[in-house]
Amino acid sequence: MRQQGATLIQMMLALAMAAVLIQLGMPAYNGLSDDLLRAAAARDLAQALRSARSHALLQGQAVLVLPLESDWGKGWRVMLAHNQQVLREQRLVRPLRIVANTAEQVKFSALGVPQGRNANLLGGTLHICQAGAAASQYRVVLATSGRLSLRTDELFEPLCAGS
């Protein structure tokens, strides 16, 4: 009579090979997961800024975009400038390092133009930094005209190197 099935040694060998392959694949999966999280945060931040600008233009009111707890990496809040009414709040699933070369907030005038504290034109870049590197693959660029763009080419960014 012929036996069918696998021996204990064959099953242990298959299990050992699966364990080795999983160990080799985990760092790649973690890197992919971090990259997807940074890409989603960049898209969401760009969308929040576009939405704030559109609201300012349509309603003829100044709109603020502020980082949550003074840290863009935790999320952001969109609110009306005159009465602090919250229009939208986005809290990130996992904190990221997001640095800005601009003021600590973005204010869109009633004309949809980004302004600084002294009503001067404001432009800048928000960098979504890679973990453990002084590089930014995702950047939200705000032109002084109010135009927003999301850039995805990798760039060395000294602001990302800080702790």
Going by C-alpha positions, the residue among 158, 128, 160, 130 that lies closest to residue 141 is: 128
Q: Is a pLDDT exceeding 80 seen at residue 118?
A: no
> Please, how many CA atoms are within 13 Å of residue 156, restricted to the half-sphere of its CB?
1
What is the CATH architecture assignment of 10-160? Answer: 3-Layer(bab) Sandwich (3.55)
The pLDDT value recorded for residue 1 is 62
Residue reference for tokens 């064959």: 10
Q: Is a pLDDT exceeding 70 seen at residue 163?
A: no
What's the mean pLDDT in 81-99? 92
Proportion of the chain above pLDDT 90, given as a percent:
53
What's the mean pLDDT in 106-125? 84
Alpha-carbon distance of 2 to 75, in angstroms, equals 64
